[in-house]
Structure 1
Amino acid sequence: MGQPVRVLVVDDSAVVRQLLTELLARDPEIEVVGTAADPLLAREKIRRLNPDVLTLDVEMPRMDGLAFLEHLMRLRPMPVVMVSSLTERGADVTLQALALGAVDFVTKPRLGVAQGLAEYAGEIAAKVKAAARARVRPLTRPATRLEPLAPAAAATAPFRTTERIIAIGASAGGTEAIRAVLERMPPDAPAVMLAQHIPGSFSRAFAERLDRHSPLLVREASDGEAVLPGHAYLPPGDRHLQVVRDGARWRCRVDDGPPVNRHRPSVDVLFRSVARSAGPNAVAAILTGMGDDGARGLLELRQAGAATLVQDEASSVVWGMPGAAVKLGAAQEIVPLERIAGRLLELAAG
């Protein structure tokens, strides 16, 4: 085993600081080197202690977590795991934090903080260790929003058919990766089915954020609704999303079946349903993410005749899920993030 991951815990709550310290210290591969009650103290301790990873609360005194994160990612980029509340505001702020460069997040329960955090000790430790291996890039000025790819430029025929379907799965780093893909999609692209590992209370805010950034109509899926071109479907909170065949068209199936690979929604559940219902009419991609959810589903898609690709390691925040798919032989292509939208469209038109 190499050196333990050095963590600085930043939270205005003394109770949460103590709990996170105790929970992380249970893992022999993690060392909590210090804590800070606000960003100004954190800034000094980062200089002095040189941690590998920061856990950062969103709402704190003297400087809010987002402002601190933005300064940090511009001046001294480092892996950050946000600790946020399971509220509507918490969801919005956490998605902004991921856009600023945070690697991942964990959620604080509204009630029974001590018990709730203890139940997630393994998840917190896993996310901290994954963050230590993540690729963190300096924050620059917000990029100009990319124009969607014209269908004619991406393929030989415009997309006005329900005969093709695109499926995308992601986890850590995926909220921004999915946004980057969807903002390049033309408004008449094939339907896009999404599975992203996020808490149930975050799904609506995430769908609304994607809808603002994409020419597609992005929505939370409802059980039984028709799958239509020009739309992207995200599973509603803490639900699996599947695609089922209904005669000559597809419909969404939303259910609360048991977690798969510890996740609900699960990428494997979505991908396997697309393999069954669409087979060679599907195109699928796994983007950045921790773990291996989706790898076996992508293999089933490839075996069913679908075109399959994964995000490359250089552009992924965490190459766990894409790397697992490559090891299984599930990916026909490995593509950098900026080229994924165009490649999905080309394959869908093939």
Structure 2
Amino acid sequence: MIPHPNPASGGPTAVKVLIVDDSTSARAMLRAIVESDPALRVSGLAADAYAAAKLMQTDLPDVILLDLELPGMDGVTFLKKIMAQRPIPVVVCSGLTARGSEQSLAALEAGAVEVILKPGAGDAQARAEAQLRICDALRAASQTRGARALAGAAGPRPQAAKLTADEMLPPPNPARVVPVTEPVVCIGSSTGGTEALRAILTALPPDAPGICIVQHMPAGFTAAFARRLDGLCQVKVSEAVDGAVLRQGEVLIAPGDQHMMLRRLPSGYRVTVATGPYVSRHRPSVDVLFRSGATAAGRNAMGLILTGMGDDGARCLGEMRAAGAMTVAQDEASSVVYGMPREAVRMGSVTQSMALDRMAAAIMGFARRHRAEVQA
């Protein structure tokens, strides 16, 4: 354990981050990443859960950046103790292994707000993307319900290039007529979204409409997340592959680090999975999915924007609405972070806001009304 308050990094209102990782080199790397953001400050470094607990007795952090592979007490056990005794937002920083993926899902279920992939060796672009992901995750965690809200007091966010969905596909043509087809649902979510998605999908019956989901999650973790949901739900849940057909009763989750787009076929819908630049600071991007939903499905679609920080999805949800889709935002009371839904409401992209526990019924109501229109 190496306590390292660093007053030079961040001001007095900066978010205090406790880094817990058994690797000396990983701690140094993560410290450098955190300290690159003026809104964040490293309040301590710990090599195991016991050293972290000791640090927390004298200097309680705002957010914990936690590795799960720790000596002595493992990270999931430590997380459960934190949530039982003194809940603090926790961001899991895990390595890409099968065990790591399963542990990360267990951590999310135990109360972690987000999982990010531990950076490895890479080129300058890969390092810059890792820095962006980690700092954004820590900022988002600090704004979860019950955490200290920043409200801009921690200073400006470092600006990075913020590309739009134009990088992946053109805007929808308002003059194009989309024929009536089977109903389809597009969902976008970020921080807090894994549990929100579980609440929605487990409440759906087997005849739910086909659903496409973008959840901000690292590569390698979405497959395990899809398998976990598939074991809990009546609908079939899987990680999307390029060219997969979207059918009634099936859910496709965008693979981490790849964009997913909906395409219309004469007989229904399929998805395209593709690499590309970060859009709205994310890959996969909700904006990319929603734009494709507006173009491919139009009034046959329903778009839902769930809990998450930032504005990914807010603008292109408006494109779905303009194309005739029903558009819904999660309300503030049920959101872990009311960022993405707030922006969608502010932009006029939303038909209505509602609590999370009403969304499964809203999806089925939309599907019934639309199918009745198809049969009329």
Normalised by the size of structure 2, how large is the TM-score? 0.81
Tell me the residue number matched to 2:142: 132
Q: Residues 222-266 of structure 1: CA distance to partner in whole angstroms, max 9, x if unpaired?
A: 333332100001123432222212114222222224332232221
Q: For 2:242, which of 223, 247, 252 is the aligned residue?
A: 223
Q: Number of aligned pairs?
A: 327
Tell me the residue number matched to 2:271: 252
Return 37-46 or 239-248, whichever deviates more.
239-248
Return 246-255 or 82-91, whichever deviates more.
246-255
Q: For 1:273, which of 284, 287, 292 is the aligned residue?
A: 292
Give SS of 1:310's match: strand
Tell me the residue number matched to 1:64: 74
Normalised by the size of structure 1, how large is the TM-score? 0.87
Shift, 1:73, TM fit: 0.7
Q: For 2:87, which of 67, 72, 77 is the aligned residue?
A: 77
Conservation of the 8 A alpha-carbon contact between 1:162 and 1:191: no
Conservation of the 8 A alpha-carbon contact between 1:19 and 1:114: no
- Distance 1:96-1:260 versus aligned 2 partners, 3 A rule: same
The CA distance in 2 between the partners of 1:257 and 1:195, in whole Å, is 15
- Distance 1:21-1:190 versus aligned 2 partners, 3 A rule: same
Matched, 1:29 2:48: no
The CA distance in 1 between the partners of 2:14 and 2:283, in whole Å, is 30
Shift, 1:2, TM fit: 7.2
Q: For 2:319, which of 261, 280, 300 is the aligned residue?
A: 300
Q: How does 1:1-350 map to 2 (within 5 A)?
A: 3-111=13-121, 120-135=130-145, 163-350=182-369
- Distance 1:271-1:9 versus aligned 2 partners, 3 A rule: same
The CA distance in 1 between the partners of 2:144 and 2:208, in whole Å, is 32
Any gaps of 5 or more consecutive residues in structure 1? 138-160
Shift, 1:285, TM fit: 0.3
- Distance 1:75-1:109 versus aligned 2 partners, 3 A rule: same
- Distance 1:296-1:113 versus aligned 2 partners, 3 A rule: closer
RMSD over aligned Cα, in angstroms?
2.3
Any gaps of 5 or more consecutive residues in structure 2? 1-10, 148-179, 370-376
- Distance 1:193-1:300 versus aligned 2 partners, 3 A rule: same
Shift, 1:208, TM fit: 0.5
Shift, 1:117, TM fit: 5.8
The CA distance in 2 between the partners of 1:36 and 1:225, in whole Å, is 44
- Distance 1:162-1:92 versus aligned 2 partners, 3 A rule: farther
